[in-house]
Amino acid sequence: MIMKLGIVGCGKMGSALVKGAIEKNAIDGQKVIVIDLIPELAEKLSEDIGATIAKSNDELINNSDAILLCVKPQDMISLTNTFTKERNSKLFISIAAGVKISSLEESLKKEDRVIRVMPNTPAMIGHGASAQSRGKNATESDSKFVNKVLTAVGVAIEVPEKQLDAVTGLSGSGPAYIYTVIEALADGGVLVGLPKDKSLMLAAKTVIGAAEMVLNSGEHPAKLRDQVASPGGTTIAGLAALESGKLRSTLIEAVKVATKRSEELGS
């Protein structure tokens, strides 16, 4: 079992993943080593979980069994190209959108194992929706370790890498779409007379409740929608307005263009 985890990049997502994994006993905070270009971020995470701060990337890699790479997509390959090859093989876990496994494998030691992951920001509160894809050298044990980390902060699936850009466009970017929906619903409530704070609470809770209904009932969303929309009632009138505003096609297009952008980031 992998025991020592290195974190390169101690921003919100990297911190959320490691804190969740520690909370669920997937890893031991005392066996985590961290580094960040912004020293204060590494210091904060170190204080929170009891991790060691590395003086260099190579020191971190040499003292870790697995390395979680949490840097911007445009910086990823220039970073991995600098890693020493004079070492034992390691598991590298990348959360960078669009950066292909093959590009990572080419920049690392040829024996290294790579798993590409797409988490999303609700992982920071334990409600993430994540996916992983394995590189050619990654083992079943590697995949189980990554799954243990991801499921500590939500749900996780494994997909072929060709589907990971679609995951990015859907669940990776999806929270931003839903925030926009919540904001719009709340503004609608204000328009028809509700106080802003109460309207926002009702909108957010409605989204949570509807999502839980989908997950817990096992029913298709269309069937659940039809259960709310009685003939000639208020809901069907609202749904007609959504259709005239092309909400469905707009959300579909949002997933499509975000997926395309993820593909562009990796090219």
Return the CA Rg of the chain: 21
Residue recorded with tokens 């996780």: 156
Measured over the CA atoms of residue 51, residue 57, residue 60 and residue 64, the dihedral's sign is: positive
Domain spans of the chain, in order of start: 5-159, 174-265
In DSSP terms, 134 is beta-bridged to 115
Per-residue pLDDT of the chain (267 residues; tens, 9 = 90+): 557 999 999 988 888 888 888 888 888 888 999 999 999 999 999 999 999 999 999 999 999 999 999 999 889 999 999 998 889 999 999 999 889 999 999 999 999 999 999 999 999 888 999 999 999 999 999 999 999 999 999 999 999 999 999 999 999 999 999 999 999 999 999 999 999 999 999 999 999 999 999 999 999 999 999 999 999 999 999 999 999 999 999 999 999 999 999 888 877
Q: Give me the phi and psi of 35, to 5 degrees please.
A: -155, 150
Element (H, E) at 34: strand 32-35
Give per-residue burial for 112-142: e unless 16+ CB within 10 Å, then b: bbbbbbbbbbbbbeeebbbbbbbbebbeeeb
Q: pTM of the predicted model, to two decimals?
A: 0.89
CA–CA distances in Å: residue 215 to residues 13, 112, 120, 155, 210: 25, 37, 18, 12, 9
Tokens read off for 101: 């496994």
Residue 39 burial by Cβ neighbours in a 10 Å radius (0-12, 13-18, 19+): exposed
Classify 5-159 by CATH class: alpha beta
Classify 174-265 by CATH class: mainly alpha
Quick check: 67 and 40 in contact, CB under 8 A?
Answer: no
Using CA atoms, how far apart are residues 104 and 99, in angstroms rounded to an integer?
A: 7
